[in-house]
Amino acid sequence: MEKYGYRFSFGPWNIHEGADPFGPPVRPSLTFDEKLKVFNDLGFDAVQFHDDDAVPDLDDLSASEIAKQARAMRRRLEDHGLVAEFVAPRLWEHPMTIDGAFTSNDPKAREYAIERSKKAADIGRELGTNLMVLWLAREGTYMREAKDAVQATHRLLEAVNTLLEYDPQLRIAIEPKPNEPMDLAYIPTIGHALALGFQASDPSRVGALVETAHAVLAGLDPADEMSFALAFDKLWSVHLNDQNGLKFDQDRSFGSVDLRRAFNQVRVLDENRFYEKGMVGLDVKALRTQPAELATKHLRNSLHMFLRLVEVVRSLDRERINELIAARDYEELDWLILSALTGG
């Protein structure tokens, strides 16, 4: 398979049981080794990890036990010819994080969040990656008056600085999302993520990850969100998927809802040589209706859609596009793009 210089990744959570808030799992869990085989079979290069995907039950383990298990995971990856792209601290499932992690009103919960994130950094080091993704799941409110938003912003900055200081090699990519699970999140857009990063003690080590669905949920265009980060060399990873309007975070297959929107994400990534900078992560989920033996096609489809769109982008007649832009003939430009997308 020609991958045009791109490397692809996903996380173990992207092969899942199909449960939703209204019903039980509809597919059995796959073991981690079964999932690793899917990475190989579908032509992926790297694994994205939550800290406890790599080291289960890490809250109950000593530092040396965590390091030992992380090293064992690294060997399993190597056996499959895979690498770890990043490690993300899972700061949203433990009872200590009910009302937030770094921005909880409870000092003990904030302390737990920092300690847990330091462990995630340790795991990343053992897995051979210095990239940490911070999806700030519960850093926001269900009740606007419940937290002080100015203080919460300072607490987020303090947490980032503490982690940068803890591990001098660490690079942090903040993944913005406007809502879910919180009603209102404190870091809803790439602008918020980068503003925080530029205020950090070492701004060169703070960047961002843009997820398609999260941008759509914020009412923004994912390609423009990516471009904003690319402009400052701050786009360190992406979570490509798709999203049908303003509803729950759907994580649909890339391009399956809005092909033009998917095309534009690939266009800005390719035009800015993202293949030299980061990996293409696919944060997609199989539909609940998909039987177990067919529940990896969302990953296959998303990867292949990305590659097809790279071909479309690279086949465009740049000179003609520049002429149309100069003539302000945007309707003809529209037709040129639509023709390319429909094989014309």
**Rule CB under 6 A: is residue 249 a binding residue for ligand XUL?**
yes
Which of 16, 20, 45, 50 is catalytic? The answer is 50
Which of ligand XUL, Mn ion, none has residue 122 at its interface (CB below 5 to 8 Å by kind)?
none
Which lies closer to ligand XUL via its Cβ, residue 113 or residue 324? Answer: 113
Instruction: Tell me how far, at minimum, the Cβ of 175 lies from Mn ion, in Å.
Output: 6
Per-residue string for binding with ligand XUL, 86-125, x by CB under 6 A? Answer: --x-------------------------------------
Instruction: Tell me how far, at minimum, the Cβ of 291 lies from ligand XUL, in Å.
Output: 23
Find tokens 């999260």 and name the residue: 214
Structure tokens that stand for 60 in this block: 């109950």
**Rule CB under 6 A: is residue 139 a binding residue for ligand XUL?**
no
Q: Which residue of 53, 85, 211, 242 would you call a contact of ligand XUL, by CB under 6 A?
A: 211
Whether 164 and 201 have beta carbons less than 8 Å apart is answered as yes
Residue 109 and residue 78: Cα distance in Å, rounded? Answer: 36
Start-to-end CA distance of the chain, whole Å, equals: 24
Which lies closer to ligand XUL via its Cβ, residue 39 or residue 313? Answer: 39
Instruction: Tell me how far, at minimum, the Cβ of 98 lies from ligand XUL, in Å.
Output: 18
> CA neighbours within 13 Å on the CB side: how many for 142?
6
Instruction: Tell me how far, at minimum, the Cβ of 257 lies from Mn ion, in Å.
Output: 16
Which lies closer to ligand XUL via its Cβ, residue 127 or residue 324? Answer: 127
Question: Nearest to residue 181, comparing CAs of 239, 279, 102, 99?
Answer: 99
167 is catalytic: no
Per-residue string for binding with ligand XUL, 259-288, x by CB under 6 A? Answer: ------------------------x-----
Which of ligand XUL, Mn ion, none has residue 249 at its interface (CB below 5 to 8 Å by kind)?
ligand XUL
**Rule CB under 6 A: is residue 35 a binding residue for ligand XUL?**
no
Instruction: Tell me how far, at minimum, the Cβ of 49 lies from Mn ion, in Å.
Output: 13
Which of ligand XUL, Mn ion, none has residue 167 at its interface (CB below 5 to 8 Å by kind)?
none
Phi, psi of 197 (to 5 degrees): -60, -40
Q: 3-class secondary structure for 232-279? A: CCCEEEEEECECCCCCCCCCECCCCCCHHHHHHHHHHHHHCCHHHCCE
Q: Residue 330: exposed, middle, or buried by beta-carbon count in 10 A (0-12, 13-18, 19+)?
A: exposed
**Rule CB under 6 A: is residue 135 a binding residue for ligand XUL?**
yes
Structure tokens that stand for 24 in this block: 């039980």
Whether 251 and 241 have beta carbons less than 8 Å apart is answered as yes
- Give the pairing type, strands 171-175 and 131-135: parallel
Which of Mn ion, ligand XUL, none has residue 177 at its interface (CB below 5 to 8 Å by kind)?
ligand XUL
Instruction: Tell me how far, at minimum, the Cβ of 337 lies from Mn ion, in Å.
Output: 27
Instruction: Tell me how far, at minimum, the Cβ of 318 lies from Mn ion, in Å.
Output: 32
Which lies closer to ligand XUL via its Cβ, residue 159 or residue 324? Answer: 159
Q: Which residue of 175, 225, 242, 270 would you call a contact of ligand XUL, by CB under 6 A?
A: 175
DSSP character for 280?
A: E
Structure tokens that stand for 243 in this block: 């999203």
> Degrees (nearest 5) of the Cα angle 261, 264, 267?
155
53 is catalytic: yes
Structure tokens that stand for 91 in this block: 């700061």
**Rule CB under 6 A: is residue 177 a binding residue for ligand XUL?**
yes
Residue 14 and residue 181: Cα distance in Å, rounded? Answer: 18
Residue 95 and residue 59: Cα distance in Å, rounded? Answer: 12
Question: Which positions touch ligand XUL (CB under 6 A)?
Answer: 50, 88, 135, 175, 177, 211, 239, 249, 283
Write out the catalytic residue numbers: 50, 53
